Amino acid sequence: METEFGNYKLIKYLGGGGFGDVYLAEKWGGPCKIYLAVKKIRINSETTEEAKKELIKEASILKEINSEFLVEYYDSFQYNGIPYLVMDYYDKGDLYQLIFQKNFNGGDIRKKIFSIFTKILLGLYELHKQHIIHRDIKPGNIMIVDDFTPKIGDLGLAKILGSTNSTMNTIAGTLIYQAPEMINSNPSYTSKCDIWSLGITLYMMFLKKKPYPENNPGQLLFLIMQGKYNPIPVNSDSDLKKLTEKILCIDPLKRPSAEQIIEDPILQKNLKLYGLTNLVIKTKNKLKKNLDEKSKEKNLNFPKYYLKNNLRYVDLLAWVKDLRCPYCCKMPEKANHFLHDIQTLGGGNVDKVDWNRCDQVDFIYWEFYCDKCGKYFGVHNDYIATHYK
């Protein structure tokens, strides 16, 4: 295998999963050595160029997410036809390793569990608010730094959703952490699948064991689809038991969202007990500010205009042809219909449109619906006029 390419030199193999192999790498070109983790995506003969480009595109979106609870992505590229993702490297291992270490059980174990759980929850809250489903939440994908702070990693399967009510129809992730709705005969799931996986992770953190027997795959599938797991002992910590059982609700419509779990009285009580309330407030305020800034950027993305008699005139046809949903980057349904209506003026031929029949149109706010992702979005300005020659 080639070990040097671009600005990176692979040093050693760290491990692998179902979607690729991870290497420790050194980045060149700076005054000091920088060590990063490079994930080589596993491809096969059926992997299309379009799929590779889509993966690189998704990784570039992840680079824009700024969260202290997510592994930071630095770069994504193709080399010799193979996609690579470059991210932060952590040498303290993952949550799965930590759960079964003796030092994890020392000290105030309850405080450690609530602290780690809350930070993973906040990471998911940030992802879901930005319409991203992780789809592979498990202890092995949660890296640990020095102060027991978790970092959600392996976002290679993440998909940008146009709405938290949108659904994904692809089974992915490790079986025992998958939500029941992910593995039924007609899978259709939302961000609530990450919440189920979080519940399984919490179960393992305080019981130090997996919730299902793994020696019988058929039985395992049946148990997951029925929403059944090894019962939590009655003498377990009351708050952890109630919180886990509340999260592991088989009905995704009744299963709480990340935001609802944050506001749950059980968690709120323990946030105050362990001094985590300010962390939650800070995270929510930071995310709101970031989303507000992104929203302003989208609202400023108006069609090009030219000035005439102190009014702004827009080539509406050219604008609609290029209009894309700001959430999924595809042409929304209403825009398609609108473009069709304009083309009809010229007998279906854009080049034959009779511009004299197009009156000047004043508007303050137009709303579009994207049938690709189920999201409504608006384009507005103080005063925009459309005009054709």
Residue 249 binned pLDDT confidence (cut-offs 50, 70, 90): very high
Q: Stretch 191-204: mean pLDDT, rounded?
A: 95
What is the per-residue pLDDT for 324?
65
Choice among 51-60, 206-215, 239-248, 277-286 with the minimum mean pLDDT: 51-60
* pLDDT > 70? residue 45: yes
The larger pLDDT score, comparing residue 258 to residue 294, is at 258
Give mean pLDDT, residues 352-367: 43
DSSP code of residue 94: B
Question: Has 136 been annotated as catalytic?
Answer: yes
Average pLDDT on 98-123 reads 90
3-state secondary structure of 369: strand
Identify the pLDDT of residue 133: 85
- Mean pLDDT to the nearest integer, 37-50: 80
Q: Binning pLDDT at 50, 70 and 90, where does residue 236 land? A: very high
Tell me: pLDDT of 67 over 70. yes
Domains of the chain are 4-87 (3.30.200.20), 95-294 (1.10.510.10), 301-386 (no CATH)
Tell me the backbone φ, ψ of residue 2, rounded to 5 degrees. Answer: -70, 135
Contact assessment for residue 69 and residue 151, using Cβ atoms and an 8 Å cutoff: yes
CB 180 within 8 Å of CB 198: no
From the candidates 136, 146, 154, 292, which is the catalytic residue?
A: 136
CA dist 42 and 18 (Å) reads 8
pLDDT-based confidence at residue 339 (cuts at 50, 70, 90): very low
SS3 state at 359 = coil
Top mean-pLDDT range of 119-128, 167-176, 188-197, 317-326: 119-128
154: alpha, beta or left, given left = phi > 0 and alpha = psi -120 to 50? left
Looking at per-residue pLDDT, the higher value among 80 and 205 belongs to: 205
According to DSSP, the residues that pair with 87 across neighbouring strands are: 37, 73
**Which of 326 and 52 is assigned the larger pLDDT?**
52
Q: Are 203 and 244 in contact (CB under 8 A)?
A: yes
pLDDT band for 359, please (50, 70, 90 cuts): very low
DSSP bridge partners of 256: none
Each residue of 160-193: pLDDT tens digit? Answer: 333 334 444 444 447 899 999 888 755 567 889 9
Where is pLDDT greater, at 311 or 130?
130
User: Tell me, what's the pLDDT at 115?
Assistant: 96
- How many Cβ atoms are within 10 Å of 52's Cβ, its own excluded? 16
- The two structure tokens encoding residue 291: 């989303």
> Which position has the higher pLDDT, 178 or 384?
178
Task: Pick the closest to residue 312 from 369, 366, 237, 364 (CA basis).
Answer: 364
Tell whether the model's pLDDT for residue 5 goes beyond 70: yes
Contacts of 307 (CB under 8 A, 6+ apart): 313
H or E segment at 155? none
Q: Which residue has the higher pLDDT, 170 or 153?
A: 153
Dmax over CA atoms of the chain, in Å, equals: 80
Rounded to the nearest 5 degrees, what angle is found at the Cα of 176, between the Cα atoms of 101 and 111? 40
Instruction: Tell me which of 35 and 265 has the higher pLDDT.
Output: 265
Amino acid at 11: I
Residue 234 DSSP SS3: coil
Rounded to 10 deg, the angle between the 192-207 and 238-247 helix axes is 150
For residue 171, give every residue at least 6 positions away whose Cβ sits within 8 Å of its Cβ, in sequence order, or none.
178, 182, 183, 187
Picking from 22-31, 268-277, 369-378, which range would have the lowest pLDDT averaged per residue?
A: 369-378
Segment 251-273 mean pLDDT? 95
Q: Which of the four pLDDT bands, split at 50, 70 and 90, describes residue 384?
A: very low
What's the pLDDT at 378?
Answer: 55
DSSP classification of residue 157:
G
In the predicted model, is pLDDT for residue 62 greater than 90? no
DSSP characters for 275-331?
T-HHHHHHHHHHHHHHHHHHHHHHHT-PPPEEEETTEEEE-HHHHHHH---TTT-S-
Structure letter (DSSP) for residue 102: H
For residue 6, give every residue at least 6 positions away whose Cβ sits within 8 Å of its Cβ, in sequence order, or none: 77, 79
Write the burial class of residue 49 (CB in 10 Å: 0-12 exposed, 13-18 middle, 19+ buried).
exposed
Least reliable range by pLDDT among 75-89, 177-191, 292-306: 292-306
Checking if the pLDDT of 158 tops 60, the result is no
pLDDT (average), residues 44-73: 79
pTM, full prediction: 0.72
Distances (CA, A) of 286 to 166, 178, 281, 289, 351: 25, 30, 9, 5, 48
